[in-house]
Chain A
Amino acid sequence: MVVLRAGLCPGLTEDMIQLLRANGIRTVVDFVSSDLEDVARKCSLSYKALVAVRRVLLAQFSAFPTNGADLYEELKSSTAILPTGSPSLDQLLDSGLYTGEVTELMGAPGSGKTQVCLGIAASVSLGLKQHVLFLDSTGGFTASRLYQMLQARTEDEEEQLEALQRIQVVRVFNIYEVLRALQELRDRLSQQVVSSMGPLKMVLLDSVSAVIYPLLGGRQSEGLALMMQLSRELKTLAREFSLAVVVTNQVTRDSSSGPLKPALGRSWSFVPSTRVLLESKEATWDKATTQRAATLAKSPRQPTGIQAELDIANGDVLEPSLVTPTQGL
């Protein structure tokens, strides 16, 4: 909904704008959706001039259809699949994290979401030598744990230090800071400023529910609007710059004994294209274990309900097990 301004297109002069505004036409949408004969009569402007302006505005502001074959070619050349560092999780995700998409990890507290994110950051930074942006909103990012994971994967100290330098950590504690950080990222990528930021392929946001929860609920409704703004930013960033975006989410229950369901509700459930649920294997405190079960809850490529086992101790993995598909979330 762009406001009509002089110079927006050739032929749109200041006088024309004043006349149009006097008749209630202020934005591009108003202009192209109005009856031009009517407007020509009321504003005493030439019909030909108005038609010419409309054609230019439509060309400037409308979307263009492309065909499926072109899209497919573009996808083949620009999409990359990034390994998560854990072969069973890769198999669950159909060989890894796809760029251009938003993937979500959800789980109860202590189920290992931050650990898996650290593992992904370590794998992309060390294995692929790509830069990673980690947006931390919970304060759970522990560099010494990341260092431990890197040490488990490679012996070379220099490589470890370089890998650490390729991971950029930004602490964002409310939604506006997240949006600001994403805007900065967009500016940096579109201007291609050559700084310490090399080729960026991955953005991790841990966790998205921590910044959105304080806005939802009660009787205020702007929280939903901000949540959708954030989702639009993430998806357009992923698509335009071919990034893989990973977010972590919480789980809640409807009542104190209901089943677990992902947080942030139905509106958010449309945002990520892939969702993975992480669970602990044992539910008691007596037996401590580092085993986690990952279940695929939503995917555009794989059947939902398949499971894999992860060991979050140092990213070592067990054989993937395809359990019979259970009720998806």
Chain B
Amino acid sequence: MQREVGTLPLAPALRARLAAAGFQTAQELLDTGPCGLSKEIGISREEALEALQVVRQECHGDAARTAGGPGPTRNCTALELLEEEQTQGFIITFCSALDNILGGGVQLTKITEICGAPGVGKTQLCMQLAVDVQIPECFGGVAGEAVFIDTEGSFMVDRVVDIAAACVQHCHLIAEAQQEEDLRKALETFSLENILSHIYYFRCRDYTELLAQVYLLPEFLSEHSKVRLVVIDGIAFPFRHDFEDLSLRTRLLNGLAQQLIIIANDHKAAVVLTNQMTTRLGQSQSTLVPALGESWGHAATVRLIFHWDNSQRLATLYKSPSQKESTIAYHITSHGFRDVQPPAATPSSGGTELNPRKRPRTEEEKQH
């Protein structure tokens, strides 16, 4: 109850008036009551009532938490978090090298950023992930739905059909090899139409539409609680032109980042963003760095940079809270995102053992 008035989420003009009138703690505000408050600072009774409601909510929120009451549990010990993380699934990318360096795949509740030059495969990976998130649990997936927010218009439905068909065929092969009932039953619902109907597509043309869409997303996600992946393809595109005031851009981007973190955390979804590259002119040479500036680099928890080396596509894990930096090569085939050569014939690599829901894959991807 001893919260200072300056720390309460009230409008700045109101805060200034309260400070001038001499109110210091929230308790004083509550004691004064709406009539006294409106007289003291010269605001209308409705405004005073609203302000007191906000204050009461904050203070009761505090009290409930210290008493151990219910609420959005963002407060726990590291041990509980560890148990939660160990039972969490990953979204596989079908490229086992990439899955390995990511520690199992794209992690839920974290923001992953994919940066790369044009044509290197960012949108391909996004479309692959939108299909892979729907893989049923008995095959090692998270059985979720996907939200795809497109700002560049690069989402091609026929490509998604190819990728989805290849994924379904792959699962059929596994089911036949393992001959188990629940695998076959899961495959009944895992069909092409089903996959496509669970990818929710939004098209945003400029930054206001994008911001509005992201801020409305929590409502959408509470109606569609099975969504486990949010892809924003092209977060750089709407922000890279039309901005004279760069500090406003930084402020908007940071607000967007925080909103995405809240979405990822509260709905247990993975957020994947794609970013463009820009040139930084150094003393004697120029380097390619991710766009949107230095402060945007802190928004994503995991950062992957895709680049070319002659004609080989490489992916570098540049920033991760739990994995080391490393580089691998990948391929984009007609079936989607794949490894370069058939991986070694070890049945279950170390990364998959940690996930108790995944069964060991006895058959690796067939390379075409």
Contacts and interface: CB of A to CB of B under 8 A. Distances in A.
B216 interface: no
A183 B2 CA distance: 8
Contact of B326 (A171, A174, A288): A288
Report the interface size class on chain A: 35 or more
Nearest to A26: B22
Contacts of A188: 66
Contacts of A229: 4, 6-7
A139 B265 contact: yes
Contacts of A193: 66
A109 B322 CA distance: 14
B23 A3 contact: yes
A-side binding surface: helix, strand, loop or mixed? mixed
B325 interface: yes
B15 interface: yes
A213 B250 contact: yes
B251 A144 contact: no
Contact of A218 (B7, B251, B319): B251
B251 A213 contact: yes
A257 B280 contact: yes
B247 A285 contact: no
A108 B295 CA distance: 8
A217 B243 CA distance: 13
B265 A173 contact: yes
Interface in A213-266: 213-222, 225-226, 229, 233, 250-253, 256-257, 260, 263
A169 B81 contact: yes
B324 A170 contact: no
B86 interface: yes
B74 interface: yes
Contacts, number: 198
Given A173-B262, A213-B251, A229-B6, A222 B321 contact: no
Contact of A143 (B85, B245, B327): B85
A313 B325 CA distance: 10
Given A180-B58, A211-B258, A109 B298 contact: yes
Contacts of B8: 176
Interface of B: 2-4, 6-9, 12, 15, 19, 21-24, 28, 58, 61-62, 65-66, 74-79, 81-82, 84-86, 109-111, 245, 247-248, 250-251, 254-255, 257-258, 261-262, 264-265, 280-282, 287, 293-295, 297-301, 303, 305, 307, 316, 318-319, 321-322, 324-327
13 contacts: A3-B22, A137-B258, A139-B111, A143-B82, A168-B77, A176-B8, A183-B7, A209-B298, A214-B258, A229-B7, A250-B294, A250-B297, A285-B318
Given A218-B247, A256-B280, 20 more contacts: A1-B19, A3-B22, A108-B297, A109-B298, A110-B297, A134-B78, A139-B109, A142-B322, A143-B79, A144-B322, A170-B75, A172-B74, A183-B62, A209-B295, A214-B255, A250-B297, A256-B281, A260-B294, A285-B325, A288-B324
Top 9 A-B pairs, shortest CB-CB distance: A217-B247, A109-B297, A110-B319, A288-B325, A213-B254, A171-B74, A143-B82, A214-B255, A164-B79
